[in-house]
């Protein structure tokens, strides 16, 4: 399915530079950013935050049958990354062999093409992760 242009555009700060937010009241960090802090509700005060991109693998799987637009990437690891600031996010792991991709492995963010809408459509850029040697 082709994602709409407004939706892709809105995600640019999140995908390009890992911009989420943090609640100044309870210090909880959110990625993707929240509109309201679920813990503090009306008492919460959310401010923008750029995450470092450092984190560790919380869980992972290996994808052999990819969705449209990712045919050339397969096979690849898809992981839930726990960022050092707290939030957990889903991301592709690149250039890290099976031996290195383990729960708890340290990763860092890299900037890659996330997918392409065919040869004439938009290129979606954003974060992926790489295991640190």
Residues in contact with other proteins by CB under 8 A are 12-13, 16-17, 50, 71-73, 94-95, 110-114, 123, 125, 128, 133
* SS3 assignment, position 13: helix
Q: Which of 22, 37, 57, 105 binds Zn ion (CB under 5 A)?
A: 37
Q: Which of 44, 84, 116, 117 binds Zn ion (CB under 5 A)?
A: 44
Q: Torsions phi, psi of 69, nearest 5?
A: 100, -15
Looking at the Cβ atoms of 36 and 132, the one nearer to other proteins is 132
Give which of Zn ion, other proteins, none residue 9 binds (C-beta under 5 to 8 Å, depending on kind): none
Q: Shortest approach of Zn ion to residue 40 CB, angstroms? A: 3
Looking at the Cβ atoms of 37 and 81, the one nearer to other proteins is 81
- Give burial (CB, 10 Å; 0-12/13-18/19+) of 44: middle
Q: Cα(84)–Cα(88) distance, rounded to whole angstroms?
A: 9
Q: Cα(123)–Cα(32) distance, rounded to whole angstroms?
A: 20
Q: Which residue has the tokens 């990354």?
A: 81
**What is the contact surface with Zn ion in residues (CB under 5 A)?**
23, 25-26, 37, 39-40, 44
């Amino acid at each position: 399915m082709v994602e709409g242009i407004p939706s892709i555009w809105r995600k640019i700060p999140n995908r390009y530079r890992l911009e989420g937010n943090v609640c100044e009241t309870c210090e909880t960090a959110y990625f993707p950013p929240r509109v309201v802090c679920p813990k503090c509700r009306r008492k919460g005060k959310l401010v923008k935050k750029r995450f470092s991109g450092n984190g560790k693998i919380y869980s992972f799987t290996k994808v052999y049958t990819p969705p449209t637009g990712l045919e050339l990437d397969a096979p690849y690891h898809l992981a839930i990354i726990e960022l050092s600031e707290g939030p957990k996010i889903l991301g592709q792991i690149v250039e890290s062999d099976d031996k290195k991709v383990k729960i708890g492995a340290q990763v860092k963010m890299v900037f890659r093409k996330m997918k392409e809408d065919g040869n004439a459509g938009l290129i979606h850029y954003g974060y992926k992760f790489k295991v640190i040697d």
